[in-house]
Amino acid sequence: MTRPILEIRDVTVEYASRDGPVAALEQVDLIIEEGELVCVVGPSGCGKTTLLRIIAGFIPPTEGSVRLDGSPIERPDHQRGVVFQQPALYPWLTVEENVAFGPKMRGIQKDRRRELAESHLRLVRLWEFRHKAPYELSGGMQQRVAIARVLANDPRILLMDEPFGALDALTREHLQEELLKIWKTTGKTVFFITHSVEEACYLGTRIVVMSPRPGRILTALEAPFSRQAGTQDSRTVKSSPEFVALREAVLKYIWAVET
Ligand SMILES: Nc1ncnc2c1ncn2[C@@H]1O[C@H](COP(=O)(O)OP(=O)(O)O)[C@@H](O)[C@H]1O
Ligand SMILES: [Mg+2]
């Protein structure tokens, strides 16, 4: 662990609605260090996506501040790459063109764009599929292209909003492994939202548990499993007593406020 990359301080968010203001987040404080893989879990509607939108720069907080490398976040840019539940690739571009698109928009020269597309498609093991259209790939492969596309912009932090939520269980487990490999290879900082407690415990170096609306951080627990990934198969890890104990600890926080 080194220095903070992201500092969220005392963030409150209220949305305007027909019935008056809706408090989505209340006094959220979160400091993320370089290289962490922070997983956020919490019930639907607790403000997870709102928190991600604040970090991405899509919306400003009502109160509080968010800083990346010490500078206030004021608008979306390539420093924060977002991966959504739906891959949202451009259907009229090939896989390779999708990945090269961000660098192209940033004025990067053609040869360098090719290199970036190739290295990132190799990273997600889809280089052989570079000439395909996105719709020719499975959902899991499309999501890997989406990850490659975001990483080709060399973001400081990768923001992922339930990225595996729409995939079948087996594909989801494969992509969890892929993500851990990518995280280890690139050393990127990752902010990962999920409502699967098991997924959070498996992927996170830290698990942030949020309360129902208005979302507050109930606790943050350290987890060792992602750093150990690759040494044991995932089912062995997920059924180990240490893993089950962590999963139950997280669930206890969630249930304590729901009942
Ligand atoms: N644009 C909006 N206008 C009004 N209310 C919103 C808006 N976006 C989200 N909300 C409300 O804020 C709360 C938090 O939403 P969200 O951040 O999407 O939660 P989560 O991602 O945890 O499911 C919810 O109650 C939701 O209905
Ligand atoms: Mg959400």
**Cα 25 to middle of ligand 1, angstroms:** 9
What region does 47 belong to: left with phi over 0, alpha with psi -120 to 50, or beta? left
Ligand 1 pocket test target in 11, 12, 18, 50 with most atoms within 8 Å of CB: 50
Ligand nearest to the CA of 165: 2
Best probe residue, ligand 1, of 11, 22, 55 (max atoms within 8 Å of C-beta) = 22
Best residue among 49, 58, 211 to mutate for probing ligand 1's pocket (most ligand atoms within 8 Å of CB) is: 49
Q: Which residue has the tokens 């970036």?
A: 116
Closest residue (by CA) to atom 1 of ligand 1? 15
Residue 229 has pLDDT above 90, yes or no: no
- Overall average pLDDT of the 109-118 stretch: 97
- Based on C-alpha coordinates, what's the Rg of the chain? 18
SS3 213: coil
> Token pair for residue 97?
């063109």
pLDDT tens profile 16-46: 999 999 999 999 999 999 999 999 999 999 9
Percentage of the chain exceeding pLDDT 90: 92
Residue nearest atom 25 of ligand 1, based on CA coordinates: 45
Question: Which residue's CA is minimally distant from atom 27 of ligand 1?
Answer: 45
Q: What is the CA(193)–ligand 2 centre distance, in A? A: 8
Residue 2 in this model has a pLDDT that exceeds 90: no
Residue 20 φ then ψ, to 5° = 105, -175
Per residue in 11-24, pLDDT (tens digit) is 999 999 999 999 99
Residue 141 neighbours by CB under 8 Å, 6+ apart: 126, 129
DSSP single-letter state for residue 93: S
Domain limits, the chain: 4-79+155-258, 89-154
Ligand 1 centre to CA of 17 (Å) is: 11
pLDDT given at position 231? 83
| Pair type for strands 157-161 and 80-83 | parallel
How many whole angstroms from 142 Cα to the centroid of ligand 1? 26
Residues 59-98 pLDDT 10s: 999 999 999 999 999 999 999 999 999 998 999 999 999 9
**Rounded distance from Cα 24 to ligand 1 centre (Å):** 6
Separation in Å, CA 200 to CA 205, 208, 217, 235, 258? 9, 9, 15, 15, 19
* 154-213 per-position pLDDT tens digit: 999 999 999 999 999 999 999 999 999 999 999 999 999 998 999 999 999 999 999 998
Give the residue carrying structure tokens 């040869």: 111
CA atoms of 6 and 188, how far apart (whole Å): 13
Architecture of the domain defined by 4-79+155-258: 3-Layer(aba) Sandwich (3.40)
Average per-residue pLDDT in the chain? 95
- Ligand 2 (single-atom ion) residues, CB below 5 Å: 48-49
Q: Which residues pair with 209 in a beta bridge?
A: 41, 219
Quote the pLDDT of residue 74: 94
The partner residues of 30 in beta bridges, in order of sequence, read 8
Given a cut of 80, whether residue 258 has pLDDT beyond it is no
Tell the residue nearest (CA) to atom 2 of ligand 1.
15
Q: What pLDDT, in 10s, does the model give residues 199-227?
A: 999 999 999 999 998 999 999 999 999 99
Task: Specify the pLDDT at position 93.
Answer: 98
In contact, 190 and 36? CB cutoff 8 Å = yes
Mean pLDDT throughout 110-138? 97
Q: 120 with 145: CB under 8 angstroms?
A: no
